[in-house]
Structure 1
């Protein structure tokens, strides 16, 4: 697949300025099945090209443990770095916990400011 914009039931993603933008849809609960579909679709969309990824998780209500573990490892396939955009204290607390416990395999940071996340990711283009 080679689309300018790809969308599934969980998220939409596109590439701009050599960064893959990944935006979760609102009010989602992500379980292992959802995480596996998301990663599968993203990898297919990328067509073997590795990108830094801007990941907007503000729409997610909850990631269960199995999905967090899966995304920490398999979610890093074909990624150079990940900047995660959060906006709520709960999102930030869950994401911070995820980063500490799950140990993503590529440089991964949390941001409340989109421009700071993009600045971080520009180091990996």
Structure 2
């Protein structure tokens, strides 16, 4: 995550806005349940203060997720986003990211990356 420009943190994630991009990072060992999904989406929307951003969503800290949590993120996770780059580990997260993209079909441009520079290059076209 970049320098702490404008940041907010809760028990499950950390959000920072830098250079017009919202950096969203799940904390280590996070399990995305419906409760967690509702909390992070609600806090992110409040933090953004009605401004739409391209989002770098770092899921490398996610240990697991349940169907209700994934469904909630698919439905409400892209509110106030222009595009989402999901950043994950090649092994575990790629399967999760691929599953999310295939099953939930996000309505805004969403791609999975294992390289942060590539993810940011994708997002910069939405600035």
Give the drift of 1:88: 3.7
Report the TM-score, using the length of structure 2 for normalisation: 0.94
Output the CA distance in 2 between the equivalents of 1:114 and 1:94. 17
Output the CA distance in 1 between the equivalents of 2:83 and 2:65. 20
Aligned to 1:116: 118
Gaps of 5+ in 1: none
SS at match of 1:76: coil
SS at match of 2:121: helix
Report the TM-score, using the length of structure 1 for normalisation: 0.95
Aligned to 1:50: 52
Gaps of 5+ in 2: none
Aligned to 1:36: 38
The counterpart of 2:93, out of the listed 83, 91, 94, is 91
- 1:63-102 aligned at under 5 Å gives the runs 63-102=65-104
Contact 2:6 2:18 in 1 (8 A): no
The counterpart of 2:107, out of the listed 98, 105, 108, is 105
Give the drift of 1:41: 0.2
Deviating runs (4+, > 2 A) in structure 1?
none
SS at match of 1:95: helix
| Two-structure CA RMSD over aligned residues (Å) | 1.0
State the number of aligned residues.
123
| 1:44-78 CA-partner distances (Å, limit 9, x unpaired) | 00000000000100000111111111111200100
